[in-house]
Amino acid sequence: MLDNISFFIPQGEIVGFLGNNGVGKSTTMRIITGYVKADSGKVEVCGIDIAAHPLEAARKIGYLPEHNPLYPEMFVKEYLRFTAGIYKLDNRKARIDEIIEKTGLTREYKKKIGKLSKGYRQRVGLAQALLPDPQVLILDEPTTGLDPNQIDEVRNLIKEMGKEKTVMLSTHIMQEVSAICDRVIIINNGQIVANEKESTIASTVLTSNFFVAVEFDCPQEIEALEALEQVLSVSLVQSNTYLIESNEDIRKVVFQYAVSNGSAILNMKQQEHSMEEIFRSLTK
């Protein structure tokens, strides 16, 4: 059940749409694409009211649902010709050839869809979404079930498309958001609880304290590290590696501590808040 949500996505932006299962993500996407009618409110796509002019608005949208509805008995190119016919596209052959190349289907387009790997089936789904050259792309879990190489390939394809199109991307993979999204919208219990860049959300939602992981060449006294100026807490992460929390950048102080104690620092790295932390904080 959605509760009076509102947001705007401009051209050339990739937005991650996040939330736990059952909070309204897929429903929102189906309303935007016109598959589900909203009980109230207004949705505009490229300035077109989706309720008043559904077909005109639909021509602006490319949609890849979570469960990619393909025809396994059809050949890839046959399926794209079928899709092009539905859209009544001009120059169908040239457009299909262009999309096959753009989505990396050149070596697979002569195969039946049912014989393709999961990754290539996702590419076919993206190809049909891109075929009418939409201004808006709605992608629901586009990398679900893919192996790491396939995920990387699909992410790169989405990033490339996002340079000129509006992309709304739903995913449960937090690394995907950090890797390709310009902004994050998080929905919880039918309401939007965050609508910012990841870095902005992290600074406003989570603690602003500074965390640094330090690996020494030998064990250190935790009490000695805790006694350093501005240090709030110290914990042993693993052998000779300590996580130090402070309210400002503590790295120079830690380096001076090591020199004065005759210790060597093998590694020192600032720990940044992850997208998982942000998500859990806003949806728990």
User: Residue 227: enclosing H or E segment and its boundaries?
Assistant: none
Q: Are residues 128 and 216 in the same domain?
A: no
If asked whether residues 121 and 262 sit together in one domain, one would say no
- Position 161 in a domain: yes
Tell me the average pLDDT across 86-95.
Answer: 90
Token duo for residue 187: 């929905």
Whether residue 230 sits in one domain with residue 133: no
More confident residue, 256 or 146: 256
Assigned domain for 4 exists = no
Same domain, 221 and 181: no
Helix, strand, coil share of the chain (percent; to 5): 35, 25, 40
Higher-confidence position of 149 and 70: 70
pLDDT given for residue 15 in this prediction: 95
Based on the fold, state whether residues 66 and 196 are members of the same structural domain.
yes
Query: pLDDT value at position 201?
Result: 77
Length of the chain (residues): 284
Predicted confidence (pLDDT) at residue 145 exceeds the cutoff of 80: no
- Rounded Cα–Cα distance for residues 257 and 117 (Å): 55
| Mean pLDDT over each residue of the chain, to the nearest integer | 88
Query: Looking at the domain assignment, is residue 218 inside a domain?
Result: yes
Range of the domain at 70: 14-203
Mean pLDDT, range 250-257, rounded to an integer: 92
pLDDT, position 100? 94
Instruction: Answer with the one of 154, 175, 203 that is the final residue of a domain.
Output: 203
CATH of residue 52: 3.40.50.300
- Contact partners, residue 208, CB within 8 Å, separation at least 6: 247
Average pLDDT value for residue range 64-92:
91
User: What is the domain count for the chain?
Assistant: 2
Q: How many CB atoms lie within 10 A of CB 174?
A: 19
Condensed to tens digits (0 to 9), the pLDDT of residues 29-63 reads 989 998 888 888 899 999 999 999 998 998 899 99
> Domain of 228: which CATH number?
3.30.70.1560
- If residue 170 lies in a helix (H) or strand (E), which one and from where to where? strand 166-170
* Same domain for 70 and 128: yes
| C-alpha angle 42-48-50 in degrees, rounded to nearest 5 | 50
226 domain residue, yes or no: yes
Q: Is residue 18 part of a domain?
A: yes
Domain end point (choices 145, 173, 203): 203
